[in-house]
Chains A and B, each alone.
Chain A
Amino acid sequence: MKTCYIDRTRDYYRAQGFSTDYTWSQYDETPFATLGKPLNASRVTLVTTGVVEADIPKPIRTAKHYAFSDVPEAFFTEELSWDKTTTHMRDRSSYFPVEILRALEEEQFIGDIAPRFHFVPTEYSQRLTIEQDAPSIVGACLEDEVDIAILIPL
């Protein structure tokens, strides 16, 4: 059975005494575009919620862009809501598969990897995500001529 995370987190915060349930994003329409070129000619990037700069306080983190050559050995993940009872975050590949992506580039399964990957904060405010973080990432992807951006939220 699939876990209903919306219900699970709602109940968890109610148990903490919060009286107003979080309103999750909901849209009637979803943007979509076909790729328009072969995969082995496509440029790929990754978007992660894993934190690169842990010294930036969580409430003021914004979307940021980093060179793939600067991928950290381990992202800072302790403040994020992952299943801390069932699993661990000691394997970067389980949430940020850069080594596998590089292998797929080497194998010419994809065209190439973009110059930069992107961090997006797990922002409570949908307004800030829509008005600031998402446009920042889209803008950077356009600059880098990205064809496929893969968002891998923790």
Chain B
Amino acid sequence: MVIGAALDILARCGTPRTVYNDMPLGNPLGRPFDRSMHRETLRLALTLAVDAQGPGTVFETPFVWDALDTDETWKRNFCYIDPDTPEKYLAMGDENRQRRLDNKAKGLFRE
């Protein structure tokens, strides 16, 4: 049973059961400090554990991240690429690649 927000990744892999919450990555149960949303999401997941009849069952909650953000502008944020600063991302990539090399040199890898 998965509670998640990245439905395309979960659907591609295949999960026995999924409760999908259309939330930013990091808050799969719902808005921070919204206990009602967290509780209902968890209850839905536990109920789905009983009710699902076959693999790949997905239940999409009715919750929204920000009722005032009707255009869902928040969804542009994750992995946003600013077209005016491509050098910034190339620098990030260089740093990423160097870090991987450094970790390998230090023996920080799994067999």
What size tier do the contact residues of chain B reach?
35 or more
Whether B80 pairs with A77 at a CB distance below 8 angstroms is no
Nearest-Cβ distance from residue A32 to partner chain B, whole angstroms:
4
- Provided the pairs A30-B14, A35-B49, A59-B109 are in contact, do residues A152 and B78 lie with their beta carbons within 8 angstroms? no
Which residues from A are CB-within-8-Å of B108? 57, 59-60
B96 adjacent to chain A (CB < 8 Å): yes
Q: Which residue of A lies closest to B30 (CB)?
A: A94
Q: List 23 A-B contacts (CB under 8 A).
A: A1-B75, A9-B79, A16-B92, A16-B96, A17-B89, A17-B93, A27-B13, A29-B14, A32-B16, A32-B52, A39-B50, A59-B108, A80-B26, A82-B24, A83-B26, A83-B77, A94-B31, A95-B27, A100-B35, A109-B46, A148-B49, A152-B2, A154-B28
Query: What is the CA–CA distance of A4 and B92 in the complex, to the nearest angstrom?
Result: 22
Whether B42 pairs with A101 at a CB distance below 8 angstroms is yes
**Residue from the list B7, B41, B46, B79 in contact with A148, Cβ < 8 A:** B46
Whether B35 pairs with A11 at a CB distance below 8 angstroms is no
A-contacting residues, B22-40, CB 8 Å: 22, 24-35, 38-39
Nearest-Cβ distance from residue B103 to partner chain A, whole angstroms:
5
Q: Which residue of B lies closest to A84 (CB)?
A: B26
**Residue from the list B12, B32, B77, B80 in contact with A25, Cβ < 8 A:** B12
